Amino acid sequence: MNPVLAQIEKIGIVPVIRIDDVEHAVPLAKALAAGGIPCAEITFRTAHGVEAIRRITAQCPDVLTGAGTVTSTQQVDQAIDAGAKFVVSPGFNPKVVRYCLDKGMPITPGCSTTSDLEQALEFGLEAVKFFPAEQSGGLDYIKAVSAPYNTLRFMPTGGISAGNIAKYLAFDKIIACGGSWMVKPELLQTGKFDEVTRLCKEALGAVLGFSLAHVGLHAENREEALRAAKLFEAMFGFKSKEGDRAVFAGTYVEVTKAPEMGKHGHIAIATASVLRARAFLERQGFAFREDTLELDKNGNPTAIYLQDEILGFAIHLQK
């Protein structure tokens, strides 16, 4: 996948932003980054789009910034000159798509019909914007058309909210969702950038879906593990169930049959996406042990340990 699209997938959310006052651009970008979403699609719906992109890319280089509502080759040139890293268009304009590809600029054109999708395949695109998403059939439509067009992936935009974004992103053909609920114009106009940050954190929480999966206790051998699990069952009614490498007592207690990572044990944190959770934590400065990475048959990450322990407990993500 194109490196920019891969970066967008790791973030999972693309805020779609209308700038009516260019002075709001940099404070907004900082608010997005503080909320854990270092990405911005600045639309060309106003005359301030180009300058907003220019300021954000200059002053907030860690925020992945693209141009949205691009409908002409002239606007593509303006976006490139301002420093945009990607282009999004509301519809499929073959001239604009070809121009972007010739310039080496990633573009996700708007598609809402199978004819649009066939054009995207003809141009060799990896991903398209599905727009307007909810009004065009939503997730059910994407699932239906992804079978015959299984090499394409989607970025739904239109009607996406904190209430449905997790449902969309749970489908592996979706690289990210575009949305504007966390960057509504009235929030920018009134300078409520703290509220932008709060809404971003709320959206990211829905996307990552962190929860406790289990706590791992490390026995020396199978017999010790079985005894420990049976004690939890006797005391609390947590039914024991033996597996290949561990014995579970109920849902949240795992007793391994041999010592594993972690001085005192390990804690498994469930997440909706190991890929996005890892990227989020790495942006916060946390490191991972690459030798512990587990992949499914399609090459998607399903588990990985963080490098550092917490009070002698190793921590790992799992899907």
Residue positions annotated with a catalytic role: 41, 129
**Residue 204: CB atoms within 10 Å:** 21
Residue 270 to residues 2, 24, 35, 94, 194, Cα–Cα distance (Å): 28, 37, 21, 42, 28
- The DSSP secondary structure of 185-239, one letter per residue, reads HHHHHTT-HHHHHHHHHHHHHHHH--EEEEEEEE-SSHHHHHHHHHHHHHHH---
Residues paired with 241 in a beta bridge: 248
DSSP code, position 246: E
Residue 188 to residues 165, 192, 227, 275, 291, Cα–Cα distance (Å): 22, 6, 60, 31, 44
Strands 265-270 and 313-318: parallel
